[in-house]
Amino acid sequence: MKSIKKLSLIPLVLALTAGYSTMASAYENCNAKRAALENQIRIAQQYGNINKVNSLKRALANVNAYCVDNNNSGNVTQSLEKKVQKLEEKLADKKSDVAEVKADLNKAKAKGDAKKVAKYQAKLAEKQAEVQAVQQELKAARAELAASKR
């Protein structure tokens, strides 16, 4: 009787160690995480466990959205550097737009055209708000880049 109990424990032990080895490999890289989750989704679907399937699909979506392989960290840094550069260019364009609107506003003031002055003041406020938004976005991108370099 004892030998039967021991024999029945062997598949259980093997199943648990296989599960742990799958989980360990899932932490090695993003592709392994995806594969492990997709396998678990298939198993949960096979047994009709809808709640488990839904939670595993959310986990898979998070892996797809946020997982970064350690060997791809250079690529992430490069993409963040490009993002910062594009935002710097965008900021320069926005500042140029502000300068143009200020020049138009000064011309309207010089002519004494109250209607155009009001128009350009509103436009100037809009352009300045755009500059501030891009500055905040650039600040966040620079912080993200600095964090990725650590």
Give the pLDDT confidence of 100-118 residue by residue, as tens digits.
Answer: 999 999 999 999 999 999 9
Contacts of residue 73, Cβ cutoff 8 Å, sequence gap at least 6: 148
pLDDT for 15 equals 52
Lowest mean pLDDT among 56-70, 104-118, 130-144: 56-70
pTM: 0.51
